[in-house]
Each structure stands twice: as structure tokens, then as C-alpha cells.
Structure 1
Amino acid sequence: MVRALLVASALTLASCASQAPGQQGAAADPPYVVSEEMQDARREYLQHAGAFLADPGSDTSRGWHQQTIALLGREDLQALIPESTNWFPKSDCAEGAGDAIGEIVRRAEAYSVVIVNEDHAVPQHRGVIAGLVRELTASGFTHYAAEAMYPDAVTPRDDHATRVSDGWYTQDPQLAALLAELRAAGTTLVQYEQRPEQRAPDDASMDESINAREEAQANNLIEAVFARAPETRIIIHVGHAHVYEMVNGQPSVWMAARLKAKTGIDPLTIDLTPCKPGGAAPVLAGEVTFRGNPWAPGTDLVARMPVVTFTSNRPDYRRSAETQDIAVPEALRPVSGLAIIEARRAGEGDEIVPSDRLLLRPGEEIPLILMPGDYVVVAFGAEGLLERPVQLTVTR
């Protein structure tokens, strides 16, 4: 059931933001100030979302558009993509040794480096990885690296919050929350993505571009971590094939294999991406069959993800015993066009990644999923604020 809101008051719009006619309120202290950088990101979100909804089967809808739909809290809309057009078709995987997280943590005791991947368009993977990271840092891993992070993400700051400037995939509220949690716990964050000067020339082939990126990522990890402290216990969070140690039984060209060859450190590698979902919890996969043929994994372990179930168009895996479904205030729901609804902790600036974000179309009644606390809920279009923000309290 969607909980009723405890509305404290409405905030006025910042003077720099666009306002709907007749919607100005009395001055409030402080007004809501829109971050230009965050609003640029919202414009990009809306462009991708509009293109996706116009043609879910297009090539670009299976790439950036699909990833954006996920960042906007609407994994339910990915069902619009025809399965026959999926860039990364899933395989049939037999169930293996049971509980994936527990078994990975057990095996990781013998390793100093754990590399795990995600499908960038499946934020469920980030939720699973977040749980794994919490278990591994509790057991002695001190560093967390992710290709998702920009240099700003590892810059010292007075608070622990994740900002829009920290990365692209880090704008997923659940990954943003993990980074904030790791900062607060004192875990060292490592940024290692290829820098502009490390890229292959513009006229390079696909293979040349891949080789340049994989080499840069491995070298950057060595420079940032292993050259100074080769015994460092680190979790490296990658996308797709960067995790492969082997391809067709031979050492791969991907980052994990290069890092192993350069450092002599054997990582524990886990692939979360190849299997068709099944069951209610992550399990290690046994035999993997791709298009009817046995498939040799390029990693130490393969995990099969659970089926994502939805309630009120939101994925149930994002809910916990502490979260509550909160109705979007009626005044913030769009009457025409697309709107982005964001809920931030009271006192957080607009440049902070929100606690929850939701794309709404006219007529949709889809809840935010929030922990107890005080929030400011805001509705945005491409030009800025659509209505006066609303303050609310989520009770226990």
C-alpha cells in the first residue's frame, strides 16, 4: 500500500528556474536552487527517455536509452524492448552451488582482488554488487574501484554524498548511496577509467580502441594501487567483458586478464550478466548453454540473477523492511509531457544524486521508494522546475 504523505510545506522556486504560470508562491528561506550541471543531466535523461518511448526496438534504445530508463527508476519499461533485438541475449544456466553472495564471500577469503561485472542497463546487478561490496568490506577489503566513477568521485570532500559530477552510472540512486556509505566507512575509492590522452586515435579500428582502453584501465589500476601496495584487498566493479580472464579457453584481451598478467595477482572473477533470470535469489550457475551449445565462462564464477518482480511498476528488490512506498504529491504529477520526480534528503543541494528518481507520464500513479526521514520532492522538465517543491516526512 502506498503511504500517505506528511506534507510540511511547499518551497518557492529559485529565481533562476522556470515557473509554471500562476504557480509562484510566497518567498521561502531557503529557495530551491537548481544546479546547472544536474539540469543538463536531466535534459539528457528526457531526450533519451523520449527516444526510447518513441521506438523501444531501435538500436540506440538498447544502449544509452535503455540505461537512462533504468536511471529514471523505470525498469518496468524495459519490457517494451523486443527480446529478439536484445544486444546481450541471455543464456540457459543450470543452478549450481546455491547462494551466490555467501559463496563468493567465502571464496574471496583466499584472494586480494575480486572483479565483478554488471550489465549497465540492469540496475538489479548494482543492487547485488552493493550487497557483495558490503560483505567484502566487512571481511577486510579496503578499496573499491569502479569504471563508473569520474575523477570527482574520489576527490576529498567535506561530506559523503554522491554528486552528478561523480559519474554517469553513479547517478543511479542505489549506486550513489553505496558510494556515500563507503566514503563514510573510510573505504578507499579508486577511479581508473581510461583518460582522454589514453584513447586510440579517432580513425582507429574497434579492436584498436578496445585494446587501448583495456591497457589504460589495467595501467591506471596499477598506478593508483598496486605499484605502491600490491597486497591491497580491492573490489573492482566493471561492465560486461572487462571481467573476462579467458575467451574460448585462451587469455583474453580484456582488463582482468591484462591486470593479472602485469601484476602476477590472480583475481577472483565473477560474471553476473550471461544467464536468464530465475528463482528469487542470486545463485551460482552450473553449466551454461548459449543458443543450445555449451559455453565456457571467461570467469571463475557465473551467477544467475533472480527474476525481477514489480509492484506498482517499481522493482521489489529495491524495497526492504525499512523502505516505504510514498505517493508522488498530486501537484507534482505531470498533466502533459514527461516529468522527472526526485526526492532528496532535506538540506541536500540539487547537485546531489537524489534518494529516488522517477520518470512519470501523465496519468501514471507510481510511488517513490524511500527510507524514513525528511525529504524535498521536486518535479522537473527539460527547462527546470515544473511546480513548487514539496517537503515531506516519511515516518517509520
Structure 2
Amino acid sequence: MLGAAGAGFARATPVWPQEALSNDELFFNEGRYLPTYLDLKARSEAGEEAARQMLSQFAAFLGDEETAVGLYEQPPRSSVVPPDLDGAVARDALEAITEAARDSRIVILNEAHNVSGHRAFAARVMRALRPLGYDWFAAETFTQPQPVPLVRIGAYTKGAPFLSRYGYYTDDPVFAEMVREAARLGYRFSDYEQRFDQRAPEGADSAAQIAAREEAQADNLIANILSTHPEARVFVYVGYSHAMEVEGRGGLWFAARLKAKTGIDPLTIEQSMNWPALAPQNDAPHVAAVLARFSPEAPIVASKDGESIATPNYAGKMDLSVFHPRVAPVAGRPGWLAADPERRRVTIKVPPLDELVLIQALSMAETTAGPPSDHYLLPPGASEATFFLHPGRYFFRQETAAGIQPAFGALSVD
């Protein structure tokens, strides 16, 4: 009776309210790219400049080169004078880098954060350096130490899932595949980015912020690799001016500070300002001049009287300057992706599409732990998709505006 009476006073179980996930949460936790992409695109079209800048980088993650590379394209100013290439010579970039890297212990290559093709070239550089004894791979994007999430690239090894939390730009499948391949080749990994406790004081001007970051990066690379592995040979992948080993615009950058602290003369390579525009008339004058003079079919370095031809801002600040050819698409995909000799072309049938989708190929060995091995946007009505994949077993799925859909097929790539 007491139990029955007591039951009459039982309280209803409360129903907890829920919050909608933000686009960032959908991206970082569920691996959904489209909500952020579509939001940035809408805000950019509405005139929001901050969204426009972010869209240029994020679109590269989805293989949308028209947006990533083309968003800020415009004809160069008529006042900019192209370099005089009379007497200039060119050679294959990978051959030049490999030759120069034999006499160095540190190779530093830069990128533009909106150009996936730079990451594809970086993969080829990484691949070429391994037989020379380069055994460490450090990248600016690798997540620095922090309480949450406690995930560091140093724990990543061959055969382990590659986690999205290892970095930000590694959410570009081209970047992620580079790191996966590096693990298979036996590289070890390290972050070196500035920690939160190494930042300039609040209110510091931009020069002080740059100096604090560059100093921290150099100190961290030394602490994380060189101090404990004095014989290490290191491939370092950075953005833009961080590869300058001579003081320039913005002061002393990472490469220059690392050189001064260690006494090691790094091989510094720039490519960030040398990518051909989607529309040839929008090529930077130095890019147009090099492409017109040499008509390259593969990445090249050019020099005149022993001096590297480079974008004016970087002239004399780095050892080599890589120029990329303008290549035609292959099956609707970037020609530079198709040119990678380690990837295989795979064309599959896809389920009927009545909307824009992000079509994805994921490794069976990793399942959904990290970024896809390859993906790109497919328009409504498309019936086939073409991927460029490393050997392995893959499954295929779509991300739509509503979310990630169940996998629809699998195959092995030899």
C-alpha cells in the first residue's frame, strides 16, 4: 500500500532541451563540410568580406577550385613590370629540390592556404625527400598542445586512423592524404605552432604579434625535434612568408629565426605566389612571364645569372621558387591531381542526384575517423564520379544539405 501510495507522488522525468549544432560543430564533430561551405558562400555573396576570405580557403577543402582560386582573381595592375627573362633558364622543380636537399638537413616549403594543388606538390616533395634520409615531417597546421582536445600529431603512425583533430588544413583530403602517405613511408611527425601561452601580450601591435609567433615556432621546432633528435632531417610545410630565411616585409620570420638559432641553413622554397590563375589574363606578371617563356608541362624553377626568379616580395628571400604549369582538367577533376603518379583514376556510377552533393571516397581501413581520401562537389543530374586514389579499399557516400547519407558502394584499388 505504501508503495502504491508513494507511486502517486512520483515526479515526471524532465525532458531536457536541446540546442541545434553550429556549423563549426557539424564540421569538427560530424565531418560535415556543406553547412559551413554553403553558409560562407551565402554570406560572401551578401557582401561580408570576412566570410569571403574564409570561403576562399574552405572551398579548397571541397575541391571547388573555381571559388578557392578564382574568388580573388583580377587582372594585374598595368604598373607592375614583369621580370626580364632574357638569358633565364629553367629546370624540373623536383630534380632541383632533390639535388639541393642532399646538402641540407631542413627543407621548408610554403603554400597558399587556398590552393590544394600546392599540397599535391608538397606530397611529391615529401616523397622525394624520404630516400635522402628525411625522416621528420612538421607542419604549421598541426594542432599545438592544448588541454582539449588532447590530440597531437606526434601520436600518428602508419596504420592508425588519421584524425581530423590533428590539424585544420588537413581537413583538405589532399593534405590528409599527404600525411597518410608520409606515415606509410616512415616519417615521424611534430607540431611546432605557437602555443597560447607564447602569444604576444594583449594589445600588442601586428609587428609584435608576428615576432612572438615566429620566435615561438622556431623554439618549438627545436624543442620538439632537433634538441632530442640531433641527426634528424626535417621537412617543414608552412604558409606564405614563414619560409623567408632573410628579413623582409613583416620582419624576421620562422625560417630566418630557425637558421639563426640552430646554425643550420635550411633549403627554403616558395610556391605560394606562383600558381597560375584560372583565367590566363589574371596571371601575376611574373607568373605570366615564366609560363610564356618556358611553357612548362611540370613544376619548374627558373633562374637568371644564378639568381632565382621569384615574386617581387620574395625575391632573394628564399632559395628556390616553384612555378606550376597551367594544366587542363581530367574528367572534371584538377589536372594536377591526375598527374600524381601514385594515384589511380577510378570512375564509378553514383545514385541519382537531384541536388548538389559532396561525393566522397573513404578508406575502409580508417572508416569515418578522419577526412575522406578524396571528394568533390557533384551537380544535380550527374551519373558518374571520378576519383584519384592511392591503392587500397574504399567505400563511397554522399553528403547532402540534409546530412551524410549511407554508403552506397565499395571497391578495391590496385
Amino acid of the structure 1 residue aligned with 2:372: P
State whether residues 339 and 380 of structure 1, in contact with CA within 8 Å, keep that contact through their aligned partners in structure 2.
Answer: yes
What RMSD in Å do the two structures reach over aligned CA positions?
Answer: 3.2
Find out whether 1:259 has 2:258 as its counterpart. yes
Q: Residues 47, 366 of structure 1: CA spacing in aligned structure 2 closer, same or farther, 3 A cutoff?
A: farther
Runs of 4+ in structure 1 over 6 Å off:
none
Distance in 2 of aligned mates of 1:251 and 1:48: 29
Give CA deviations for 1:98-134 in whole Å, capped at 9, x if unaligned. Answer: 1111111111111111111111111111111111111
**Distance of 1:203 and 1:85 partners within structure 2:** 37
**TM-aligned CA deviation for residue 229 of structure 1:** 3.1
Q: 2-side partners of 1:91 and 1:220: how far apart?
A: 40
Q: Does 1:323 align with 2:313?
A: no
Q: Which moved more, 1:270-279 or 1:110-119?
A: 270-279
What does residue 129 of structure 2 align with? 136
Note the alpha carbon deviations across 1:19-73, whole angstroms, 9 max, x for none: xxxxxxxxxxxxxxx9971336553344334445x36x86446532111111101
Relative distance call for 1:49 and 1:390 in structure 2 (3 A) is farther
CA contact (8 A) 1:313 1:366 kept: no
The answer on whether the counterparts of 2:135 and 2:187 sit within 8 Å (CA) in structure 1 is: yes
C-alpha separation in 1, matches of 2:269 and 2:81: 16
Of 357, 369, 372, 1:354 maps to 372
Structure 2 length-normalised TM: 0.75
Listed as ranges, the matches of 1:287-366 within 5 Å are: 288=309, 296-319=315-338, 320=340, 323-327=344-348, 329-331=350-352, 333=353, 335-336=354-355, 338-363=356-381
Paired position in structure 2 for 1:270: 269
Structure number with the higher strand fraction is: 1
> Could you say what secondary structure the match of 1:313 adopts?
coil
Q: Is the contact between residue 117 and residue 239 of structure 1 (CA under 8 Å) also seen in structure 2?
A: yes
- How big is each residue's C-alpha offset from its partner over 1:188-234, in whole Å with a ceiling of 9 and x where there is no partner? 11111111221224432221221111111011001111222333211
CA contact (8 A) 2:161 2:370 kept: yes
- Whether the aligned pair in 2 keeps the contact of 1:245 and 1:251 (CA below 8 Å) is no
Structure 1 stretches of 5 or more lacking a match? 1-33
Q: In structure 2, do the counterparts of structure 1 residues 351 and 299 end up closer, same or farther at CA, with 3 Å as the change threshold?
A: same
Question: Per the alignment, do residues 145 and 347 of structure 1 end up closer, same or farther by CA in structure 2, a change over 3 Å counting?
Answer: closer
TM-score by length of 1: 0.78
| Overall identity of the aligned pairs, in % | 31
Does residue 281 in structure 1 map to residue 298 in structure 2? Answer: yes
CA distance in 1, matches of 2:99, 2:158: 35
Equivalents in 2 of 1:327, 1:362: separation in Å?
16
How many angstroms apart in 2 are the aligned matches of 1:166 and 1:317? 25
Residue 9 (structure 1) aligns with: none
Local SS of the residue matching 1:63: helix
Describe how 1:1-396 pairs up with structure 2 within 5 A: 37-39=29-31, 43-51=35-43, 54=45, 59-60=49-50, 63-78=53-68, 80-84=70-74, 92=82, 94=85, 96-151=89-144, 152-156=152-156, 159-247=159-247, 252-275=251-274, 277=276, 278=291, 279-286=296-303, 288=309, 296-319=315-338, 320=340, 323-327=344-348, 329-331=350-352, 333=353, 335-336=354-355, 338-363=356-381, 367-371=385-389, 373-381=392-400, 383-385=402-404, 387-393=405-411
Letter in structure 1 aligned against 2:363: R
CA 1:158/1:267 → structure 2, altered by over 3 Å: closer, same or farther? closer
Which sections of structure 2, spanning at least 5 residues, go unmatched? 1-25, 145-151, 277-290
Alignment partner, residue 9 of structure 2: none
Alignment partners' CA distance in 1, 2:264 and 2:336: 34
Instruction: State the Cα distance separating 1:353 from its structure 2 match.
Output: 1.6
Q: RCO higher in 1 or 2 (8 Å CA, sep ≥ 6)? A: 1
| Change in CA separation of 1:294 and 1:198 when aligned onto 2, cut-off 3 Å | closer
Offset of residue 167 of structure 1? 0.9
Which residue identity is paired with 1:393? L
Work out whether residues 158 and 184 of structure 2, in 8 Å CA contact, stay in contact via their aligned partners in 1: no
Q: Aligned AA for 2:31?
A: Q
Give 1 or 2 for the bigger CA radius of gyration.
2
